[in-house]
Amino acid sequence: MRDHETQPGQEGSPDQTQKLVLPLTSEAPQRTQKISLPAGTAGQTQTPHPPAPSRSRGWKLSLVLGGLIVLGGVVFLVSSRGPALQPPATRAAAPEAEVPAAARAYLDQAKAGDANAMRMLGAMYYYGLDVPPNREKGLSWYRKAAEAGSEVARTELSRLEAVGK
């Protein structure tokens, strides 16, 4: 035999390399790991824990739940609107029925004789503040307030009549 060859069971020199031949199998090599077990568990078999569920479905679930919430909100808003077309209610043409809600409180006070409320109604109607603009109705309320003793209404009435002429 030659000097550099070794026989099985004999150790070669440290600078020599040996070729490791692995058996050809279709299975992947099995890895083993030594685990230290607590006292009293010798010989018991441990079952592996199932793998944690994939988080790839988490965003899909969130998306579906969010979509359902939005859809529910849309259905609620559409259904709460009531019938789309309502026939106009026929009412008697009473002047008090035509008073907008914004002017209702001032109208009640003006009927009780409050000159400031009369002046406010005059300003609201003359300038169209929260009510449809109506200069004639505004001037009428200014006149009523001036007759009731409001000095501010008298001054504004004279200014508005001067501008209107």
| Secondary structure (DSSP) of the chain | --SS---TTS---TT---PPPPP--SSPPPP----PPPTT-TTPPPPPPPPPPPGGGHHHHHHHHHHHHHHHHHHHHHHHT--S--PPPP----TTTTS-HHHHHHHHHHHTT-HHHHHHHHHHHHHTSSS---HHHHHHHHHHHHHTT-HHHHHHHHHHHHHH-
Q: Where are the domains of the chain?
A: 101-164
- Give residue-wise pLDDT tens across range 17-57: 777 666 676 776 667 777 666 666 666 666 666 666 555 67
pLDDT of residue 4 exceeding 60, the answer is no
- Give residue-wise pLDDT tens across range 89-146: 554 444 555 777 778 888 899 999 999 999 999 999 899 888 888 899 999 999 999 9
- pLDDT at position 77 is 83
pTM of the predicted structure, to 2 decimals? 0.42
Lowest mean pLDDT among 4-8, 82-86, 89-93: 89-93
